[in-house]
Structure formats: C-alpha cells, structure tokens
Amino acid sequence: MQSGFHAPSASELQEWNKQLEVMGQEYQVLMQDMLARMLPGEAGKTIYEDMRESFRAGAEALVSDPETLMNAQLRLAQDQMQLFQQSLRDLSGEETELLIEPARDDRRFKDEAWRKEPFYRALLEQYLLFSRLVEEMVGNLDNLPPAQKRNLEFYARQYVSAISPSNFASTNPEVMRLTMETKGQNLIEGLAQLREDLSNSAEGINVKMTDRSAFTVGENVAVTPGSVVYENELMQLIQYAPTTEKTFKTPLLIVPPWINKYYILDLRQDNSLVRWLVDQGHTVFLISWRNPGPEQRDLTWADYMQLGPIDAMSAIEQACGEKSVNLLSYCVGGTLAASTVAYLTSTRRGRKVRSVTYMATLQDFSDPGEIGVFLNEPVLKGLERQMEEDGYLDGRVIAFSFNLLREKDLFWSFYINNYLKGEQPAPFDLLYWNTDGTNLTAATHGWYLRNMYLENRLIEPGGIELDGVKIDLRKISTPSYFVSTREDHIAKWNSTYGGTQLPKGPVTFVLGGSGHIAGIVNPPHKNKYGFWTNDELPAEPEAWLEGATFNEGSWWPHWQAWMTDNGYADADKMVPARQPGEGDLAILEPAPGRYVRQTIPEVLGQVASKEAS
C-alpha cells in the first residue's frame, strides 16, 4: 500500500472534487500556454534532429556490435531475474538489501519509503538497474566516433534522468504524502508556478531556482562601493573606492564574461573577489558589459575587444595617468583578454599589459567537454539562422542549456520541489545571479562558436584576424597566470591547461578544487577546496597534476604573492590611494551602474524598464 493512503470520507471527497476542478482549470490554461510554445526555433529544431540522429547511430552501432548487444541482453535478463527473486523474498517477509544503491550524492531518493515500502522500492530498483544498463551499454559502444559517442551519452543521460520515478506525482512518495495531506493544493500551486516559469522562458523551461524578490542588484548583491567613470555602447567601466591608504601603482582591470553578469565576482562582502582585491591594495577597475538586444546585432568580437579592454585601458590612463595595467579575466572574458593581448603584441603595444591572469579560461578548444554537444555543425547552423533572424541569442536559452549539463541538481530537483510539491525556492544569491542572464549579440556569438569551439582557430598562428591584424598567442611575452578548477564542467581544466603551452613569456598554472564558480570564488577566510601548484609545465595536463603539490585553502593569496613577488604589483612603488573622479574622468553614476541592472525582458521590451519607471 502506498504511503499515506486512507479511505476518504464524504466531506473529503467533496473537497477533493473542488480541488480537482481547480486543477483541471489550471491544466487547461497550462496546455494553452504550452501549445503556443510547441514549435521550437531554428536552434531547437537542429538540437532535436541531432538527438534523433545520435540515437539512430547508437542503435546501428549496437546492432553491428554483437558482443555488446549480447552482453546488454544478458545483463537485462540477469537484472530482471534478481529483481523477481528479491520480490518473492520481500513478499515472504524476509528483510533484504537493495540490489543497487543510488549514488551517495543522489538526493532524489532520500525518503525512507524508497527502501521501506515494496511499491516504491520496486520502482527504485527497476529504475536504477535500467539506468546502469543504459550507461554501460552506451559506454561500451566503441565503434562510434568520439564526438558522436559523447552526444549519445549526453542525450541518453537526459532521457534516463527525465523518466526517474521521482519526477512523477504518482510515483514519488513525498509528493503523494503531500498531495494527500493538502488535498492536491501542492499540485495546484505547482501548476501555477509552472505557468509563471513558462512565461519567463524562451525555449525549454527556466525553472525558478531562488526567491528573486529577496535580491536587488546594488543593494544586497554587487555592493562593493565604487563609481562608473566611463561608458560606451557596450560597457560601463567601474572604478572601486579604495580601502587602503596606499595602492599599487599599476591599476588592475577585471574583464568578466558577458554570458553572465559580472557580479558573480562581487556577490556579498564576505565572498567578493572584487572587495578582496581592493583590500589588498589594488586600484580595481571592472568592465560591466551591456545586456544587448537586437540593436547590437552587428557588434563583433573585435568590437568587444576595442570597446571593452582597449577602451578601458585608455579610460584608466585618463583616470590614473598609468599607461599599463594588470589584467584579471574570467571564462569567455579570458578568451577575449588573450585575443586582446595578442592583438596589442602584434601592434607593438604589448607593454600596455604588465601581467594577465586567466581564470577558468579556454584558449585551446579541442576538447570543450559536454557543452560541445550543442556545438556541432548542424546545430551551429541552426543557431546562426536563429541569431540572423533575431539579432541576438536569448540568454535564457543559454541558461537552460548550461543547466542540462547538471540536470539532476539544476533542473529536476527544482522541477520536483516547485511543480510537484508546490514549494517556493529559498533565497540564494548565487542562484539569483545564475538566473539573471544576458543576451548574446548575433555577430559576436556566432563568430565565437564557429572560430573557437568548432574550428579551434585561436591557437593557430594567424588563425584569427581582428581589425585587419592576424594574431598569434605564441608571440605573447606578457607574464601569464592560469587558474582552473578540477571539477569544472564549463571549461574543463585539462582543456584550459592547453593555453599554458602557447605564450613565449613566463607562465604559472594553478589548479583549484571544486567547480567553475565555487573554485574561483573561493575567499581565503573559508579555508575550502585547496589548490595544486607545480613549477613545471609539461605538455600533458595529467603529467602536471602527477607532479603537483596540494595546498590547503584558497588560491587567492598565491595569486597575490605571484603579483607582488614578480613586481607586477610593486610593493616598493605604492602611491596614495586613488578615489573615483579624482583624475580626468568624472563620476557618471554610483556602482554598480545601469548596464548590470538591465534584465533580458527589459532589454527585449517584454516588461517596462525599472530605470524608465
């Protein structure tokens, strides 16, 4: 018998009928909303076609590999026999262990009913056995090209995750108990949340991950004091107020990614990299990218370079009188920083950058990881057609795609809590940032995907041309500091390591613990994750790691020591602390500025702008 079941009374049946009527009305409205979104855009069509092609190729590969097919059939028969025998033992009252346990970090099956109640126990075991069978079967298909096998593994995992019994009200014991207790109110509230999330999505469903009303940019996130001292069509330049009496002579310019907003580096005061850098004595400037719309469709990678770091360097010279900067870059901002330093080197202006730091940055895209599933030729052509039509790629589509790389934690867990349990997500600043996305301009993003991810031209000497200048990363003599993270699923560390083999100048590589966000935003006072160092730079990343030394705590102090020990931030040439507005650049507005506050619906005219209000 299922958990929480009892025979309803007449009054309960009457109440249930009322609830079912409300559910039916919510469901009808939901279906109307979903029917209006049934037809995917050009990008979505090509992904669905690639999914079908991957499964077709997998089926053909399985048929043409008799041994793998026979082993899969044998495993299936053995699993079903074991399950049948255990069911008989359970029915006889014998206590038995699960045939297969969920992974330790799998939170979907924590409820005791999955182990104690025969109905749910059988569902769990059948599902886990099937999951293992699919994983082993696809993993043993050695007669597929590596890229196609990677795609098949990804799509198969998405399918298996989607059919988990935890995702359905009638086969989730927690949801069933809650439904009986609330007489279906949880499902009514869940349907309402699903409708709301659909209205805030582009393609797919961008599930609400946090209580967005709990956060306001500039009030409780992105709060390090500073001022906007320069702006152009593409970015605002923030100069942060000093917290020390003296600062290093050479200013520090941060180049964040534009796929998300910069304030991942400035969430709260206790985990803000920006604030920590200011406290170390740096005069910190940061590029806050505009959230683009159709009007910015023609902005190119070269425009991002010229209007971003290069314009910022000119503005910093006006503000401080300094002709050179130290660059600190992150993710795609690092790829742009590498392009910029190579461009300045080829135009005999390489000394404008004293040092460059790349945080979780790909320069060699030969192995982009699972994100490569969305970046083969047919899918890219679909994306290009979509961007040609719209002038931009909706940032909510990118967010949905990234969430599928960790679908159990970043999609299905919220799907269950929000839509089946009817719960509201708790406030969490990191997830607020994760859902506060940005669009991508058509000209820049299409060029970036094709030239970097698909054709890997950045590592080729002269493979990339920017404003008529062929660039070559091998000519860069600027000292470089690379930091990557061991569990990164956006920029795999052994792929980012390839960038260390390119410059001719001195290179340091550090590997942090954890992932793309937590491993980078890792303040020293938390003493978490640790990092590996190795003075040698062998060609292969595995060889580097084998000879590396593990260090406790955050990599931030190691970076600061690298800056000061080498004189890029010279402790012997400190200057009085610089206040925003003291130089030749007037203060335009307080940090964090207008650009970072622009949301996708506001940019696209789907809601009224808060600034206009």
- For the annotated catalytic residues, the residue numbers are 331
> 605 Cβ partners below 8 Å, 6+ apart?
none
Distance CA 393, CA 398 (A): 8
Q: Any idea of the CA torsion for 311, 590, 326, 347, to the nearest 10 degrees? A: 0
DSSP 344-356: HHHTT-GGGEEEE
Residue reference for tokens 């590996």: 532
- According to DSSP, the β-strands at 392-393 and 440-441 are antiparallel
Query: Per the structure block, which two tokens stand in for 153?
Result: 């593994």
Residue reference for tokens 């025979």: 7
Distance CA 119, CA 2 (A): 7
Distance CA 369, CA 493 (A): 10
Would you call 454 exposed, middle or buried from its count of C-beta atoms within 10 A (0-12, 13-18, 19+)? middle
Among 576, 579, 598, residue whose Cα is nearest residue 227: 579
SS3 state at 16:
helix
Where do the H-state alpha helices sit in 352-452? 377-390, 395-403, 407, 413-415, 429-435, 442-448
**Inter-axis angle of helices 118-139 and 146-162, to 10 degrees?**
170
Distances in whole angstroms, Cα of residue 60 to Cα of each of 52, 66, 109, 141? 12, 11, 34, 10
Q: Residue 85: in which H helix or E strand, if any?
A: helix 66-91
